[in-house]
Amino acid sequence: MEEFRVCPECGYQRGFHVSFRNRKNSYKIIFICPSCGSAYDLNLKTDKIESLNETKINQYKEN
């Protein structure tokens, strides 16, 4: 597969939402289909996240 973009479950083609799951010393990066809600694990993890305490930095505005 060249790109992970289409949901294998429902065929949604516009990519995924993302979620971070706390594991022992890292965070798993989970992809969630915005259409059907299926969650996918690409075995991607990071130890670069310090915590899940977010800071709001920007808000998308249409027009």
- Three-state DSSP state, 26: coil
Instruction: For the chain, give the longest Cα–Cα distance.
Output: 43
Residue 26 or 35 with smaller CB distance to Zn ion: 35
Enter the tokens of residue 61.
Answer: 């505005």
Q: Does 31 bind Zn ion (CB under 5 A)?
A: no
CA dist 40 and 30 (Å) reads 6
Asked if 35 touches Zn ion (CB under 5 A), the answer is yes
In whole angstroms, the minimum distance from the beta carbon of 11 to Zn ion comes to 7
- Residues binding Zn ion (CB under 5 A): 7, 9-10, 12, 33, 35-36, 38
